[in-house]
Structure 1
């Protein structure tokens, strides 16, 4: 998409010097995507409807991901990007973030979807092999564990090398991490299409332990392929998205394994398959699913629709894909998990493929507010609040969809600045905070 183990103080000094000395431009998340500069708008007039811009953080150009932490009554926003990590205080005015701390790491690659431990106040920054002048074939990847106990002083607790490094996700309340992507390195098996998931134990944040054995293999009709990102739903099911679809796993507790029919313990290293599988090529021709969301638990009605769809049987997933022209770029896909609870997504082969049934799709091509002069129309990260799904579409800005009827998502508002390079929106305190690689952070308020 877009952009220590801690052995000695000497290592930290060396790493810090490297971080300070190297800088790279932002680039597209996936190897087939455009660079961020090309993903911006045309410079012509922008467009907006039913949304009001109430704030902007222009000093945060290169922002890719942001999250929020609570320190008692204090409200703090944590932003990561190619610059490293920054913290902002939102307590006094959520529309006017105040910079309070920073960890300068120029040359990082994207750091998208950076996750936080809200209890222990830590961030987990992925080092993509393309960071600091590296490349996918030979570059180093890993994880920085950052202490945010004092938000004014973000501090690296440790760094550990990991064979994957595009995104890192919290598992089991941030006691463990699942790290995936990008494309395979030169030393990985020739038949792999991309990097799967490696598991890291971060219960001791100063001494992370990486398992040598990857998981979430054979995900693309029996082929090991690129796992892009992982989201955990409110039931604790971890959903791994990437080339070949979206598959969910139990990572704790006792569960029946649909592949063996036996009840066994699920762990982060040996998860139990739950549901999911490939997305139909008619909905997502690239087969590359970027991230996902399953409305369940306290969010069972959030975007799930009425009646039949309020039972946790939906998976929302983004296809990230760039082709010539807007019409073929990636879309939001809503699919049904019904028929996938028996391990069907793990038995899929090219000869007998299993695909989830598509419920609905939505893309910006031909929609009101779309810039026809820009070909950068792929769907990217999204966030759901109630029945409203906010999603970024790069140069096509941020779109707000009513997904109360998942079979028919409807655009109700949009915000597309002329220079948009929108990566990810986040709902917080009734506002939508948009990480824009060009503009910094736009703070939006719906007016409908």
Structure 2
């Protein structure tokens, strides 16, 4: 969630002054840090190992997120960025996508983790309050519903204002959206650390309905704080990441509510807590979790065989590389009875951290760059692929979750890697500076 071009000196001074005034480290803010284009060593040639580049889309420069849709035998990729949407056909040759459509909306802000309804062929595109030269204090936020039933001609079906807008995610089979972030607006409660989740009913995508009451409150040891993103696992549990950790919710079906102590029906408007909580500060000092992944079912092998784990990314931008965000792996044991919802400063609850990985000092890294925060990742089998901004794309063997091991990497000299995606045997990397790189793991 970081902009990668230089912002004004005034913005730098303002953020620095805010940090001093609040006593918070940069990592605790959970908001975009001003500073900078991706930093690299002068003359840095980059570094690549165990990966082959098979294609690239430089015309998608500014890419932030990608999704894949199937139209019968036709395979299509939708790329989002501050330009809007670009659509590519992968059918004939997935290593050489062919541009077929575009929705131009220049002036959007990032569009991180844009999501799609694969059945109805819809794209849900967040409008962050900083879009179109707005700001977090007073800017307008909302969600565009884009019809891509004809991928050559994506069109806005509807737009609805939402009190949050950094990311928006499908829950309950894309019948509803959960939208969160960024930092709070001036008209929101003063004691909030950031925006929680607002729920939008998109069962009628032409007429979205925003529920007035936010959810996932009091997530940071009792304080309502910044929700950054939501990922839904294959069992339908929605995992909510942000300041204060990662918490999972049922959004449908009948379940026991461990907080209320009764069995009740879950819905997107009134979800039932499942598990989760804060992550040990020794693993993620900032307490700001950017996104997560929960593999359904117990770990099949390794030191934690039979346990329920959650993978999460800490995003933080501190001076130097060593203190920047990490990939964390935590056990959900001990969090199934609402512990993460009862956590307080006086009696904090933390998940047990069993493994971490950071790009700092790893083979293939640029030792001079300080743009090293962890960002989005994707997991297939035991191989996790993750973006680390200027430190590029890293492939990790996580078969032993207590000891993630790097097995390959792709760090071009001008890397600004935001999000990698496994698809049909390839990895498509949304790189804010380069567009989309298409990789084949050979390690």
Q: Distance in 1 between matches of 2:51 and 2:300?
A: 23
Cα gap change, 1:43 to 1:64, in 2 (>3 Å)? farther
1:158 is aligned to 158
For residues 273 and 90 of structure 1, the distance between their equivalents in structure 2, rounded to whole angstroms, comes to: 39
Secondary structure (helix, strand or coil) at the match of 1:445 reads strand
Q: What does residue 18 of structure 2 align with?
A: none
CA distance in 1, matches of 2:253, 2:275: 16
Q: Distance in 2 between matches of 1:89 and 1:78?
A: 9
**1:305 Cα offset (Å):** 5.0
State how far apart, in whole Å, the 2-side matches of 1:217 and 1:257 are: 16
Cα distance in 2 between the residues matched to 1:43 and 1:306: 43
**Matching residue of 1:229:** 229
SS at match of 2:37: helix
- Counterparts in 2 of 1:97-116, with a 5 A limit? 97-116=97-116
Which one of the candidate residues 314, 329, 332 is aligned to 1:334?
329
User: What's the TM-score once normalised by structure 1's chain length?
Assistant: 0.92
1:349-388 alignment to 2 at 5 Å? 349-388=344-383
Partner of 1:402: 397
RMSD of Structure 2 on Structure 1 (CA): 1.7
Query: In the alignment, which residue of structure 2 is the partner of 1:181?
Result: 181
Moved more, 136-145 or 33-42: 33-42
Report which stretch shifted further, 359-368 or 43-52.
43-52
Residue of structure 2 equivalent to 1:435:
430
- C-alpha separation between the residues in 2 aligned to 1:71 and 1:40? 41
**1:444 Cα deviation after fit:** 0.6
User: What residue in structure 2 maps to residue 20 of structure 1?
Assistant: none
Secondary structure, aligned partner of 1:384: strand
Measure the CA separation in 2 of the matches of 1:25 and 1:367: 26
Task: Quote the residue 2:292 is aligned against.
Answer: 292
Distance (Å, rounded) in 2 between the aligned partners of 1:378 and 1:144? 29
| Gap change, CA 1:148 and 1:26, over 3 Å in 2 | farther
Residue in 1 aligned with 2:416?
421
CA contact (8 A) 2:61 2:433 kept: yes
Deviation at 1:32, TM superposition (A): 4.8
CA distance in 2, matches of 1:416, 1:243: 29
Which digits, 9 at most, give the CA deviation of each residue in 1:170-202, with x for residues without a partner?
011100000000000011111100000000000
- TM-aligned CA distance change 1:434 to 1:37, over 3 Å: same
1:136 positional shift? 0.5
**Contact conserved, 1:228 with 1:290, CA < 8 A, in 2?**
yes
Match status 1:277 vs 2:272? no
* Secondary structure of 2:378's aligned partner: strand
1:15-414 matches, cutoff 5 A: 31-35=31-35, 37-39=37-39, 43-296=43-296, 304=299, 306=301, 309=304, 311=306, 313-414=308-409
Q: CA 1:81 to 1:36, structure 2 compared with 1: closer, same or farther past 3 Å?
A: farther
**Matched-pair contact (CA < 8 Å) for 1:250–1:273:** yes
TM-score of the pair, normalised by structure 2: 0.93
Cα distance, 1:34–1:174 mapped onto 2, change above 3 Å: same
CA distance in structure 2 between the aligned counterparts of 1:295 and 1:266, rounded to whole angstroms: 21
Distance (whole Å) between structure 2 residues aligned to residue 181 and residue 440 of structure 1: 25
Give the superposition deviation at 1:339: 0.1
What is the distance in 2 between the residues matched to 1:36 and 1:90? 34
Please give the alpha-carbon distance, in whole angstroms, between the structure 2 residues aligned to 1:262 and 1:322.
42
Cα deviation for residue 260 of structure 1 reads 2.0
Rounded to whole Å, the distance in 2 between the matches of 1:94 and 1:74 is 11
Q: Equivalent residue of 1:248, what SS?
A: strand
Give the counterpart of 2:439 among 425, 432, 444.
Answer: 444
Q: Which runs of 5+ in 1 are unaligned?
A: 4-23
> Size of the alignment, in residue pairs?
423
DSSP-derived class of the 1:231 partner: strand
Distance 2:138 2:306 in 1: 45
- Counterpart Cα distance in 2 of 1:423 and 1:2: 9
Residue of structure 1 in register with 2:23 after alignment: none
Shift in Å at residue 259 of structure 1?
Answer: 1.1
User: How many angstroms apart in 2 are the aligned matches of 1:143 and 1:367?
Assistant: 39
Q: List per-residue Cα deviations over 1:102-129 (Å, max 9, x = no partner).
A: 0000000000100000000000000000
339 and 54 in structure 1: CA distance in 2 versus 1, 3 angstrom threshold: same
Q: CA deviation at 1:39?
A: 4.9
CA gap of 1:350–1:105, structure 2 versus 1, over 3 A, is same
